[in-house]
Amino acid sequence: MAEPFLIGEAMTGGYGPVDILHACTIAVEKGQIAVIVGPNGAGKSTAMKAVFGMLRLRGGHVKLAGEDITALSPQARVAKGMAFVPQTHNIFTSMTVEENLEMGAFLRRDDIQGTMEQVYDLFPILKQKRYQAAGELSGGQRQQVAVGRALMTQPKVLMLDEPTAGVSPIVMDELFDRIIEVARTGISILMVEQNARQALDIADKGYVLVQGANRFTDTGQALLADPEVRRSFLGG
């Protein structure tokens, strides 16, 4: 089988001498949605940071479109087509919505207007609030700013760490719909989600991480149907 578009393979590493990830593997195919779930502290965010180059790996490697990018800085990965929305502090609260989007495009030298219109088409509320400070927006709207900012780099892979954290079920459904829309344009989505059931339902591929290691890996639907996954991670 051909190699996935983006893969963090057998990643081992942590923040100091202690390893958090133990030969952890995470991957996503072109235009597909891969979801990482697991208990608090399982290492989901750490795995995302490792894939994005924010963690020095003691073992394993990261490959994008067949190229080994393990040694690249996060900024160099952005230049290669990766975008990452971290779990916290993912917008500039004192800047306006539009300034946040402009910041997202800082690496670009071409005209960003078309991309900005695409982001506004995807999230119409952001156009309405474009001159408002991002910090004044609701939780769901802030997450839209964060995703929109990431899209401004015209990424091939969009990495999202808990994009629906703290939003209502209705807003979550809407955000998932937008994420599906983004994937349909050919952008790969790699995301961590606390709302495991709903996220696995839209996932082509799902990863259950426990203590920094892969516990279950399958299609989203297969994981949802697995009695052991249901009992241990989805509340029955």
Ligand X SMILES: Nc1ncnc2c1ncn2[C@@H]1O[C@H](COP(=O)(O)OP(=O)(O)OP(=O)(O)O)[C@@H](O)[C@H]1O
Residues that bind ligand X (CB under 6 A): 15, 20, 38, 40-46, 87
Of 20 and 27, the one with the shorter C-beta distance to Mg ion is 20
Question: Least distance from C-beta 45 to Mg ion, angstroms?
Answer: 3
For residue 32, give both structure tokens: 């597909």
Question: Least distance from C-beta 29 to ligand X, angstroms?
Answer: 23
For residue 68, give both structure tokens: 């080994």
For residue 138, which of 127, 125, 151 has the smallest C-alpha distance?
125
How many angstroms separate the CA atoms of 38 and 45, rounded?
Answer: 11
How many angstroms separate the CA atoms of 124 and 130, rounded?
Answer: 10
Question: Least distance from C-beta 219 to ligand X, angstroms?
Answer: 22
Residue 163 binds which of ligand X, Mg ion, none (CB < 5-8 A, kind-dependent): none
Question: Least distance from C-beta 42 to Mg ion, angstroms?
Answer: 8
The sheet with strand 33-37 has its strands ordered as 82-85, 157-161, 188-192, 33-37, 205-210, 213-218
Q: For residues 29-48, which are near Mg ion according to CB under 5 A?
A: 44-45
Of 7 and 36, the one with the shorter C-beta distance to Mg ion is 36
Is 195 an interacting residue with respect to Mg ion (CB under 5 A)?
no
Q: Are 72 and 55 in contact (CB under 8 A)?
A: no
Is 90 an interacting residue with respect to Mg ion (CB under 5 A)?
no
Residue 41 binds which of Mg ion, ligand X, none (CB < 5-8 A, kind-dependent): ligand X
Of 55 and 112, the one with the shorter C-beta distance to ligand X is 55
The number of beta carbons lying within 10 Å of the beta carbon of residue 202 is: 18
For residue 203, which of 179, 185, 231 has the smallest C-alpha distance?
179
Question: Least distance from C-beta 134 to Mg ion, angstroms?
Answer: 22
How many angstroms separate the CA atoms of 64 and 183, rounded?
Answer: 17
Of 55 and 126, the one with the shorter C-beta distance to ligand X is 55
Binding site for Mg ion (CB under 5 A): 44-45, 87
